[in-house]
Amino acid sequence: MDLKREEKAGSTGLPTQLLWGGSFIVLLLLCSQTVYFYFNAQTRYQQQLGELQDKLIKEQHSRLSSELADAEQMIDQMFAEATDLIRQQTRSQTHQALALMNSLYQRYHEQLSEAEMKKMLIESLRDIRFFDDRGYYFIDDMDGTLLLSPILPGNEGTSLLGLRDDTRHNIFQGLVAAVSNAQKEGFSHYRWYAPDNNKVMRNKVAHVGTFEPYNWIVGNGDYFYRFEDDLKPRIYNALRNIHFGRTGYIALLDRDGRLLASGATPEREGFNYLNDPDPIIRQGAQQALATAQAGGGYLSYDWYQTEDASPSHRLSLVKPIEDRGWVLIAGIYQDEVNELFSSQEQRLGEAIKQGWSHQLIAIITIGILALLIALSYSRWLKSRFKRYDDNITQQQDKLREFAESLKLSALIVESAHEGVIVCDADNRIVKVNSAFTRITGYQLSEVLGKTPAILTSGLQDNDFYKEMWHTLNTEGAWRGEVWSKRKDGEVYPEWLSISVNRYSNGEVQNYIATFSDITHLKNLENKLRYLAETDPLTGLANRRTLMDCLNRDLAAQQRYHSAGVALFFIDLDRFKAINDCYGHDIGDSLLIEMSNRLKASLRESDLPCRVGGDEFILIIKFKEGKEGVKELPLLCQRLLNEMTKPLRLTGIDIDISCSMGVAVSSKDDDAYSLMKNADQALYKAKGEGRGCACFFDETISTTVYPSAIEVESTDQKD
């Protein structure tokens, strides 16, 4: 009896021992893993803090470099604009002087002797002043003799051949070189005494041109420093307005340490930091100037954020602007960087903490699951075979149900990129996929138990659906294009494929439909059709569309005695000369403007076309009879008036004219003969001097006129 008790105790104690032994091992492993994860998280946290600090420093360096580069580029651009302005103004003044001299010469050279004529020309420019009264004209002859110098009249008549500036540049040779080109004009750069200081030479630019009757050099000039003095306040103001971040700004010093512009302390502009009584300001300025003298770079120093604040550490990038004698400084205070670091550090710490919390929760969960599994395993050892057999039977039932669910899910997954609808034998919706919701806007709960008729757009009639169901029932599948309606009422095209899923006995189990939105394909078709029917530059109908519409209108006129048809051939006069003179961009802009004028001048029933180059063709419909024909000359004149209006393209004034040939259709005219007649009428208009319209008649058909190309070629030679 004791033996039975021991056997019973052994049979019940072994699972308990296995349970506690396994639980101890699991807990030991979990504790070891917890310690490992903790120390690993701390190490990773310190490593990421170092990487974060390095990243922030690099970002601030990059930020300062970008801001400084933008500021320097702005300064260079403003100086470049000022230089261009000087050149434009001096060139304009030279052109005005030459125009005045040519006008006087043409008017008086036959009435005056050569000496009198020259004196008149010289004296006409002597008293002219410009550029705030500092600009004047000078005249030299090609032998180097100074003929006109309003500010030094005593030097007139002297030779300039040996005249040089303080860089040993020969001034007269530079002026001669400037006019030694096909245009006989140009710029010359040299140094000369400034009006306010006759002891120091300054950079100057002069524009000179040739007065051809006497081969004189006529010109004027101005000093760069005057424009630069006007430009500097604008540059200072622009730099004051540059701020980045919370504390970042730009400062500009000269080489002597004087503050020229500051985005933080504009009230201190004009102070010399090297003479400041505060040693912090002096030392910071000395470091910045020393860095600039060494070629520029990054530096850290203490500086005041505001007048009443204590010094703060500041990170700056210094770059010298050698040709201006300036030092450009972009800086940001360390407080802002520290704030960014603290914020990033806090987020990183929270992320590490959150990750550690998740790991701890996972470890605890795994421990609990492990204990439950161990407990279940212990109980399983105590269970009977019947319980095991019952579990197998239950698992088989669940697997059978799961297999049916997988079979249905597989049908949906097969068309994952298309919308899928699964209907029962009564055509009631039982399943849809996410693509169905994306395309139609309906959720499964909104369509469950309903028929697909809720998607019908109404654009297909009942015969269409009868034919579809007939094919589906006889062949088991149907494919085609259908217009459907979304939940929001939008109608869209789709490609629909329906198949029938049957039981083994032949009865219908499901109807499975897959569909895709083909709106983008329809849009592409419309775009391709538009490109095939229109001119890409002007958007007008092209030759293909012209012929289709002309044949259609002529057929309608002959068959139904509808409105008459007139064909207008329009050709822009001397368009090639405009293209050659101003370039193809101006020519294209001109064609677009002419197209817009045509469209604005015609009715919706008329068709303007561009068939190539500068040729336009119009299909005009008019009332049958003499009354309708009488309106055509009025239309011609209105079109000519509109087309020949002056226009201005990119600052260029262009005068344009056009010629027009008109042919009116008769009963027997086809498209080819009507176009030929209009073309001959156009040639007649070209031959009669352009800028007019000619109507085709029998006299034109018996007369040989030069082609429009021949007329244009003749005018180009003239």
At residue 664, φ and ψ (nearest 5 deg) are: -105, 130
Question: Domain ends where: 464, 498, 522?
Answer: 522
588 is an active site residue: no
Residue 193 lies in a domain: no
Integer Cα distance of 570 and 694 in angstroms: 11
Integer Cα distance of 473 and 364 in angstroms: 60
Does residue 504 sit in the same domain as residue 605? no
* Helix ranges (DSSP H) in 383-515: 385-413, 434-440, 444-447, 462-475
pTM more than 0.85: no
CATH code, 649: 3.30.70.270
Question: Domain ends where: 278, 307, 338?
Answer: 338
- 73 forms beta bridges with none
Does residue 610 sit in the same domain as residue 671? yes
Does residue 602 sit in the same domain as residue 648? yes
Does residue 566 sit in the same domain as residue 632? yes
Does residue 515 sit in the same domain as residue 542? no
Q: Determine the structural domain holding residue 430 and report its residue range.
A: 414-522
- Cα dihedral 172, 173, 177, 183 in deg (nearest 10): 30
Contact 609, 595 (CB under 8 A): no
Contact 214, 102 (CB under 8 A): no
CATH code, 273: 3.30.450.20
Does residue 426 sit in the same domain as residue 495? yes
Residue 552 lies in a domain: yes
Residue 444 lies in a domain: yes
Does residue 512 sit in the same domain as residue 541? no
Integer Cα distance of 142 and 349 in angstroms: 83
Stretch (H or E) spanning 2: helix 2-108
349-374 per-position pLDDT tens digit: 677 777 667 777 877 887 788 777 76
Integer Cα distance of 208 and 137 in angstroms: 10
Does residue 666 sit in the same domain as residue 592? yes
What is the bridge-based pairing of β-strands 647-649 and 615-622?
unpaired
Contact 691, 717 (CB under 8 A): no
Contact 339, 330 (CB under 8 A): no
Q: Give me the pLDDT at residue 18, please.
A: 57
Which one is catalytic: 517, 614, 669, 679? Answer: 614
Integer Cα distance of 55 and 481 in angstroms: 56
Question: Domain ends where: 474, 501, 522?
Answer: 522
Q: Give me the pLDDT at residue 3, please.
A: 45
Residue 227 lies in a domain: no
Q: Give me the pLDDT at residue 214, please.
A: 96
**Count of domains forming the chain:** 3
Residue 172 lies in a domain: no
Please report the sign of the dihedral spanned by the C-alpha atoms of residue 89, residue 94, residue 95, residue 97: positive
Q: What residues of the chain score a pLDDT lower than 70? A: 1-20, 22-23, 26, 37-38, 40-42, 45, 48-49, 52, 307-309, 339-341, 344-346, 348-349, 355-356, 374, 377-379, 381-386, 388-390, 402, 406, 408-416, 625, 701-718
Cα 546–chain centre separation:
35
Does residue 518 sit in the same domain as residue 538? no
> Per the structure block, which two tokens stand in for 607?
């068709």
Integer Cα distance of 251 and 260 in angstroms: 8
Integer Cα distance of 663 and 695 in angstroms: 6
Residue 304 lies in a domain: yes
Residue 119 lies in a domain: no
The amino acid sitting at 198 is N
Does residue 453 sit in the same domain as residue 561? no
Which distant-in-sequence residues (6+ apart) come within 8 Å of 683 by Cβ? Answer: 661, 705, 706, 707, 708, 711
Residue 406 lies in a domain: no
Does residue 516 sit in the same domain as residue 540? no
Does residue 547 sit in the same domain as residue 670? yes
